[in-house]
């Protein structure tokens, strides 16, 4: 039952520890060494020969450093004759670069897939990918789990009656509909029009939001610009000044707090796919997806189905 090894990179060791706690397991020892010229390497301080290995490492800031750590872990496991190597990547960085917007730019999400496969990864477990087609970049099993049930379990007893689930664009409508189904409510969607190469404008709120509180959902919050635009559009459409935001990945770059300082925004909920360091931000609440990932790891380690975790 517990015949597997769990390693953690430095991106989010607290999440790895929480996963291990839920599994009644331990995080296997490893070391990261940084050389004076900036090079890094990792050492596995436990034999992996013939064993099933899970590596927990989000590709979050510093993104390239954490990606390279993951590549080093996989390569080290392969060269030490691990039986099977699974990367548990709660936040898959570079996922927004899933297509070209011009002729002279890379598709970085595809390149990341190529790198992970080149070093010998067997299986990828991730959470709420930015775009579903990213799975097609991989020629290995990809399990893209969802935090929707985790969010809904937390939100259902706390939401005001009549709360509307709001998709910030047409691309998140399917996820918003799943939120609404689980919460027993309705959906609204914001229709956008691109103004410039980097700016969009909400031209229409589709759905009834007047005099109703709103729950805006998204896969990530980075600069906060999308959420700020959504709040303004909802209030202009007559929504109650009682708005909650739920996003799986709290990228939360510098300046996001100022962007989301609107008095109508009561709470921002993210998961711990990315380590958070905002102790003085009272509106920010972090919920853990460690139990979900622990169940997935336990079942994968024993070759059981995880299909119900996608529902």
Pairing state between β 243-250 and 265-271: parallel
Tell me how many helices (H) and strands (E) the chain has: 8, 14
Q: Smallest Cα–Cα separation from 205: which of 262, 242, 149, 164?
A: 164
Asked if residues 122 and 95 have their Cβ atoms less than 8 Å apart, the reply is no
303 dihedral zone (left: phi>0; alpha: psi -120 to 50; beta): left
Asked if residues 307 and 108 have their Cβ atoms less than 8 Å apart, the reply is no
Contacts 24+ apart (CB under 8 A), 40-48: 40/65, 40/68, 40/69, 40/72, 41/72, 42/9, 42/69, 42/72, 42/73, 42/76, 43/76, 44/7, 44/73, 44/76, 44/77, 44/80, 46/5, 47/80, 48/5, 48/77, 48/80, 48/81, 48/82
Asked if 192 is an active-site residue, the reply is yes
Asked if residues 252 and 281 have their Cβ atoms less than 8 Å apart, the reply is no
Pairing state between β 187-194 and 200-206: antiparallel
Which SS3 state, helix, strand or coil, does residue 64 take?
Answer: helix
Question: Is residue 81 exposed (0-12), middle (13-18) or buried (19+ Cβ within 10 Å)?
Answer: exposed
Tell me which of 99, 174, 192, 201 is the catalytic residue. 192
Helix or strand (DSSP H, E) at 77: helix 63-79
Cross-strand pairs, 74: none
Q: Please list the active-site residues.
A: 192
């Amino acid at each position: 039952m517990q015949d597997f090894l769990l390693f953690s990179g430095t991106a989010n060791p607290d999440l790895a520890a929480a996963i291990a706690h839920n599994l009644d397991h331990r995080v296997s020892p490893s070391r990261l060494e940084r050389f004076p010229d900036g090079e890094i390497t990792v050492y596995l301080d436990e034999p992996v020969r013939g064993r099933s290995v899970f590596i927990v490492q989000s590709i979050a800031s510093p993104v390239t450093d954490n990606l390279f750590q993951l590549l080093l872990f996989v390569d080290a496991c392969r060269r030490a004759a691990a039986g099977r190597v699974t990367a548990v990547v709660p936040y898959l960085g570079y996922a927004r670069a899933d297509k070209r917007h011009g002729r002279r730019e890379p598709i970085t999400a595809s390149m990341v897939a190529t790198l992970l496969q080149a070093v010998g990864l067997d299986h990828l477990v991730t959470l709420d990918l930015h775009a579903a087609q990213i799975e097609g970049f991989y020629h290995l099993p990809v399990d893209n789990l969802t935090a929707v049930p985790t969010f809904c379990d937390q939100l259902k007893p706390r939401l005001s009656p009549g709360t509307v689930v709001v998709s910030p664009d047409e691309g998140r409508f399917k996820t918003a509909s799943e939120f609404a189904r689980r919460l027993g409510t309705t959906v609204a969607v914001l229709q956008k029009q691109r103004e410039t190469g980097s700016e969009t404008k909400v031209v229409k709120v589709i759905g009834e939001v007047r005099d109703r509180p709103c729950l805006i959902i998204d896969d990530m919050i980075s600069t906060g610009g999308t959420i700020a635009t959504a709040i303004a559009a909802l209030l202009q459409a007559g929504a109650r000044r009682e708005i909650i935001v739920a996003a799986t990945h709290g990228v939360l770059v510098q300046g996001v707090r100022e962007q989301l300082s609107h008095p109508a925004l009561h709470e921002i909920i993210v998961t711990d796919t990315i380590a958070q360091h905002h102790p003085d931000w009272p509106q920010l609440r972090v919920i853990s997806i460690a139990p979900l990932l622990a169940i997935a790891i336990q079942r994968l380690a024993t070759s059981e189905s995880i299909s119900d975790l996608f529902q």
